[in-house]
Amino acid sequence: MNATPGTQQARPATRIDGPDKVTGRARYAFEHRVSGAAYVWPIQSTIAKGQILNVDASAALALPGVLAVLTPDNAPRLAGDDPELALFQSRAVAYRGQLIAAVVAATLETARAAAGLVRVGYEQAGHDVTLTPDHPGLYKPDHVNPNFATDTEAGDPDGALAAAPVCIDRTYRTPGEHNNPMEPHATIASWDGGELTLYDSDQGPSMAARVIAGVFGLHPDQVRVIAEHVGGGFGAKGGPRPNAVIAAMAAKAVGRPVKCALTRQHMFAVVGHRAPSIQRVRLGAGRDGRLTAIAHDVIGQTSTIKEFAEQTAVATRHMYAAPNRRTTHRLARLDVPTPAWMRAPGECPGMFALESAMDELAIACGIDPVELRIRNEPDAEPETGKPFSSRNLVACLREGAAWFGWDGRDPAPGTRRDGPWLTGTGVAASTYPARAMASQARASVDESGRYQVAIAAVDIGTGARTALLAVAAEALGVPAGQVTVHIGDSALPQAFIAGGSMGNASWSWAVTAACQALREQIRARDGAIPPGGLSAQSATGDAVRALPDHARYSFGAQFAEVRVDADTGEVRVPRLLGVFAAGRIVVPAMARSQFIGGMTMGLSMALHEESTIDPRFGDYPNHDLASYHIAANADVGDIDARWIDEDEPEPGPARAKGIGEVGIVGTAAAIANAVYHATGIRVRELPIRLDKLLR
């Protein structure tokens, strides 16, 4: 058959997986059909620090239907380098809620009931779970996530701050927060001899297969990870979690497939969280608002078994021009679960502090907050001198101000009322790195002219299938209806994780290269497709390494309007506007959804989210969605997301930057700044609760 690709393509108008999701045909990890599956229920530590003396599983094993109880006494020995995945390898307890044993049974109900019959004896030790600015154990980590310098310094920031006509010196705090994707972490594990198959709720099947292979001493080709549909991740599923290991261990022990689904309560201990932060920000400026010095010092926490240092002050290194600069990070090792990635790690909490301080500087200088940011726009990345591949923050601020109706804003705080409501508006900038990582893809065509594109990408609810279909159809020059995209399986060409706002930028590069190579094959044959079809595979590692040495970021501006009840302190956000510069927007409907989702999560951060640890027990008492509050429908008013056209030649032929995380960044600061404008009360510690405004 002749199948010469043309130059036109029809993009999908809606999400191609939409019908499957609304009709229930979409299969999530726990829903895959496997015959003879058993169930595993994990047992958690009830102390925050100490040693397991003994585990009495006799009552559990006597319960009909119980197949095994895994404990440190009988669990198989594991390898790998992640202590959070080294389940049941030690009797040491590092935090309350740590998985210390598990029951495998024929039914989920039996496994859960039997877990309650297991008796664990402990030798309890004193624990420390409270982060303070003067904690005696504070230390300097070797680097911050993923591999940034811990500290940076240029010029004489202390001298410049002391000499500055205007100086802001404030401390801001953000609480612990927990990723709560709609789909809890879940895995089905099945062994076939030495081959392991996992149906897993995971943000990166390729990485998950490599990590799990290392844990069980297997070759990566012996592990297959399938993530057909994933119901959200927000970083918590950026790598395999204990549910995957415990399912595989249990399946090996009982010789049949095993299902493991963590509950919401489990997830508050064993799948990561955003650590609390204490941030001191100092800004020195002339009376014209031009910065002469920036200092951003961060105190955070990690666990005692694994270090995770969030890169909280890193965004400060590229946001605004100032000749004298310093950023630092210090950690305390506490007896708490290990922190990990949560949407926009580093940038999200760090920009709350920086953008709140910029608002305070604008007020001190008597300068409009939008204008203050524009005056401090750098010509190149301030700490490295690298040119920006593109930077349109000023355009986002100016166009956003026009769309929002910012002009003519009365800067005086606490002076506007609408009945019992005090009203105000605020602004903040947002940013996130624009990266791409090496990935591979395969494109093929059969005799009938049907195209297949395969890549081990994963759709975590972002619309990745739809976006990659659009990219593939455009690169092939055919209607989208002629193309089928296969993702979510480590058996496909390997791909980077859906995280760090790198997914589509990385995958679309590989997909475009594979499709263009296939198109050239077809052209070389004058459109004739042989009986076996044609296929082309790409690998983008060399292309990624050859990128010019530029500073690459997405930018945005967040505008918020708030209403604060003068009697109760209740805060409402009737209007949010985000304006973004993020390269080429591949599928506008998907992009708008991602921006609005990020802004909604930022609103939740500003007003609701707070993981409160009880120092007596070393645990989170608010460890479910009844007590860990997130924004609900009534909290979300008119949210609008827009973007400006940005010519971004890097990274990759799709000219796309990541958009999954820039939407959350800056939103909390914009709301806090608006609350100050409405009330005259500056809230420097999130969330903005009623009690903080009733003063």
SS3 511: helix
Domain shared by 46 and 109, yes or no: yes
Higher pLDDT, 572 or 652: 572
Domain shared by 447 and 537, yes or no: yes
Distance CA 653, CA 441 (A): 14
Domain shared by 657 and 560, yes or no: yes
Distance CA 388, CA 564 (A): 40
Residue 1 banded pLDDT, cuts 50, 70, 90: very low
Q: Are residues 262 and 334 in contact, defined by beta-carbon separation less than 8 angstroms? A: no
Domain shared by 105 and 195, yes or no: yes
> Is 15 among the domain residues?
no
Would you call the peptide bond into 382 cis, given omega within 30 degrees of 0 as the criterion? no
**Domain termination site, one of 483, 516, 545:** 545
Distance CA 453, CA 527 (A): 18
Q: Max Cα separation, the chain?
A: 78
Residue 439 banded pLDDT, cuts 50, 70, 90: very high
Distance CA 71, CA 89 (A): 9
Residue 13 banded pLDDT, cuts 50, 70, 90: low
Domain shared by 472 and 392, yes or no: no
pLDDT value at residue 648? 81
Give the pairing of strands 277-285 and 291-303.
Answer: antiparallel
Domain shared by 299 and 401, yes or no: yes
Domain shared by 230 and 351, yes or no: no
Type and span of the H or E element at 108? helix 108-115
pLDDT value at residue 514? 97
Quote the mean pLDDT of the chain.
95
Q: Are residues 359 and 426 in contact, defined by beta-carbon separation less than 8 angstroms? A: yes
Give the pairing of strands 223-226 and 195-200.
Answer: parallel
pLDDT for 5 beyond 60: no
- Measure the N-to-C terminal CA separation of the chain; round to a whole number of Å: 77
> Is 133 among the domain residues?
no
Domain shared by 451 and 410, yes or no: no
Q: Which long-range contacts (CB under 8 A, 24 or more apart) does 541-548 make?
A: 541/438, 543/509, 543/513, 543/652, 544/436, 544/437, 544/438, 544/506, 544/509, 544/651, 547/436, 547/650, 547/651, 548/389, 548/650
pLDDT above 70 coverage of the chain, percent: 98
- Residue-wise pLDDT tens digits, 354-395: 999 999 999 999 999 999 999 999 999 999 999 999 999 999
CA distances from 207 to 87, 96, 501, 582 (A): 19, 28, 16, 26
Q: Average pLDDT for residues 321-343, to the nearest whole number?
A: 98
Give the pairing of strands 291-303 and 324-334.
Answer: parallel
> Is 556 among the domain residues?
yes
Instruction: Enumerate residues 6+ apart whose C-beta is below 8 A from 74.
Output: none
pLDDT above 90 coverage of the chain, percent: 92
> Is 186 among the domain residues?
yes
pLDDT for 651 beyond 70: no
SS3 596: helix
Sign of CA dihedral 527, 654, 144, 603: negative
User: 254 exposed, middle or buried (CB, 10 Å; 0-12, 13-18, 19+)?
Assistant: middle
**Domain termination site, one of 500, 523, 545:** 545
Active-site positions?
661
Give the pairing of strands 258-261 and 38-44.
Answer: parallel
- Residue-wise pLDDT tens digits, 176-185: 999 999 999 9
pLDDT for 545 beyond 90: no
Residue 546 banded pLDDT, cuts 50, 70, 90: confident
Type and span of the H or E element at 593? helix 588-607
Q: Average pLDDT for residues 426-442, to the nearest whole number?
A: 96
Q: Average pLDDT for residues 263-271, to the nearest whole number?
A: 96
Count of all residues that appear for the chain in the document = 695
CA distances from 125 to 51, 94, 639, 640, 651 (A): 8, 10, 49, 51, 51
Domain that holds residue 228: 36-126+180-270
pLDDT for 7 beyond 50: no
Q: Are residues 429 and 347 in contact, defined by beta-carbon separation less than 8 angstroms? A: no
CA distances from 663 to 501, 579, 684 (A): 11, 9, 21
Q: Where are the alpha helices (DSSP H) in 303-368?
A: 316-319, 347-365
Cα-flanking dihedrals φ and ψ of residue 327, to 5°?
-135, 140
What b/e string do you get for 224-252 counting C-beta neighbours within 10 Å, with b at 16 or more? bbbbbbbbbbbbbbbbbbbbbbbbbbbbb
Distance CA 322, CA 154 (A): 10
Q: Average pLDDT for residues 152-172, to the nearest whole number?
A: 98
Residue 7 CB neighbours (<10 A): 7
User: 455 exposed, middle or buried (CB, 10 Å; 0-12, 13-18, 19+)?
Assistant: buried
Q: What is the DSSP string of 5-49?
A: --S-----SS-TTHHHHHHT-SPBGGGS--TT-EEEEEEE-SSSS
Number of domains observed in the structure of the chain: 3
Domain shared by 419 and 453, yes or no: no
Instruction: Enumerate residues 6+ apart whose C-beta is below 8 A from 3.
Output: 445, 449, 522, 527, 529
Lowest mean per-residue pLDDT among 6-15, 92-101, 259-268, 558-567: 6-15
Domain shared by 69 and 194, yes or no: yes
- Residue-wise pLDDT tens digits, 403-428: 999 999 999 999 999 999 999 999 99
Q: What does the block give as tokens for 633?
A: 């429908």
Domain shared by 572 and 612, yes or no: yes
Residue 242 banded pLDDT, cuts 50, 70, 90: very high
Question: In the 3-class helix/strand/coil scheme, how is 672-690 assigned residue by residue?
Answer: HHHHHHHHCCCCCECCCCH
**Domain termination site, one of 270, 303, 332:** 270
pLDDT value at residue 36? 96
What b/e string do you get for 633-656 counting C-beta neighbours within 10 Å, with b at 16 or more? eebbeebbbebbebebebbbbbbb
> Is 132 among the domain residues?
no
CA distances from 278 to 298, 319, 482, 605, 616 (A): 6, 20, 53, 16, 22
- Residue-wise pLDDT tens digits, 20-75: 999 999 999 999 999 999 999 999 999 999 999 999 999 999 999 999 999 999 99
pLDDT for 121 beyond 70: yes
Distance CA 281, CA 294 (A): 8
pLDDT value at residue 3? 45
Residue 653 banded pLDDT, cuts 50, 70, 90: confident
Beta-strand (E) ranges in 152-238? Answer: 152-154, 166-174, 186-192, 195-200, 223-226
> Is 137 among the domain residues?
no
Distance CA 672, CA 359 (A): 10
Radius of gyration of the chain (CA): 26
Question: In the 3-class helix/strand/coil scheme, how is 520-569 assigned residue by residue?
Answer: HHHHHCCCECCCCCEEEEEECHHHHHCCCCCECEEEEEEEEEEEEECCCC
> Is 22 among the domain residues?
no
Q: Are residues 627 and 621 in contact, defined by beta-carbon separation less than 8 angstroms? A: yes
Q: Are residues 345 and 174 in contact, defined by beta-carbon separation less than 8 angstroms? A: no
> Is 630 among the domain residues?
yes
CATH number of the domain to which 40 belongs = 3.30.365.10
Q: Average pLDDT for residues 628-643, to the nearest whole number?
A: 95
Residue 342 banded pLDDT, cuts 50, 70, 90: very high
- Residue-wise pLDDT tens digits, 289-318: 999 999 999 999 999 999 999 999 999 999
| Residue of 9, 673, 693, 19 lying closest to 352 (CA atoms) | 673
Domain shared by 103 and 226, yes or no: yes
Q: Are residues 299 and 350 in contact, defined by beta-carbon separation less than 8 angstroms? A: no
Distance CA 421, CA 564 (A): 5
Distance CA 190, CA 606 (A): 43
